[in-house]
Structure 1
């Protein structure tokens, strides 16, 4: 007798709702009911501060502020991005790879006479060498700078040179390089 009443109670509990729904209508219907469903909200910011500018019109860091979202809406990446992230998004919209993320030339091994060229926009540039042929050793990170543009991988001997392509009037606010064993090499052994 006891087992039958437990089974009957379990069946009733499985069918009966034990919670009250929080929203009685779908969230998509809420947007339409408020009157915001038809117009794309980014269109209203085109003339205000932080408006969508083409990449060619960006001249200063103040041009890299997003317009933000309309009150009560969730901003898109384009609306809320600022600084370098916004510059990257605007570049991708125009088909420009701002940070030049394609891999370096791995079809040959760089030598002192003919190094692999890595373009750099700042005072320092970090390059990972995976060897020659590619992926023949773990990634060895090399630090290239304007003062020391050539580096040789200690694992495979591959030589990489930084070619500075940034603005010519940029001042150097980088810290001086820390002393390493390379600083104690005789000058006649320096590479030029």
Structure 2
């Protein structure tokens, strides 16, 4: 069936063929992602005739992360979330985030009592709850409103 349809499309006149457009062009043009550069996230690049280093060619969040590592700091907290109690609305599990929206994987309490369920934490929500174990999470937003990480 597919071979017949594609043969029919190739045999059709050029004006009758469906237009094929990649999604990436439309998204980049309409998202506003272009033009919001953080000065520390832009680099002049490598010297002509030389292979650039990671730091010379990195841009955006990758460059900021590399600069932090040169200072001996970790920009992103890659450690697992320490769940020492079942989160409740009065005593939720607090998750720090640099972004206004963050995904958190809940494995239940006690730890690994259910499969990982991904919860979308939003800074505009008072708290978010795991649908499996009922544990409550809240976000402590530590980022900047001025940063545009697209």
TM-score by length of 2: 0.65
- C-alpha separation between the residues in 1 aligned to 2:101 and 2:48? 42
How far, CA to CA, are the matches of 1:119 and 1:79 in structure 2?
30
Unaligned runs of 5+ in 1: 1-59, 172-192
Query: Matches of residues 1-192 of structure 1 in structure 2 within 5 Å?
Result: 61-167=38-144
Distance in 1, Cα, partners of 2:130 & 2:116: 10
Q: Larger C-alpha radius of gyration, 1 or 2? A: 1
2:40, 2:64 within 8 Å by CA — same for their partners in 1? Answer: no
Larger RCO: 1 or 2 (CA < 8 Å, sep 6+)? 2
Count residues with an aligned counterpart: 112
The 1-side partners of 2:54 and 2:126 are apart by 36
Q: Deviations over 1:53-83 (max 9, x none)?
A: xxxxxxx712322232222222221110011
Over the aligned positions, Cα root-mean-square deviation in angstroms equals 2.2
In structure 2, what is the Cα distance between the partners aligned to 1:83 and 1:167?
A: 15
TM-score by length of 1: 0.52
| Aligned equivalents of 2:110, 2:49: Cα separation in 1 | 54
Contact 2:107 2:113 in 1 (8 A): yes
SS at match of 1:90: helix
Deviations along 1:105-157, one digit per CA (max 9) or x if unpaired, are: 22222112111100122221211111112222221111111221411111111
**CA distance in structure 2 between the partners assigned to 1:102 and 1:95 by the alignment:** 16
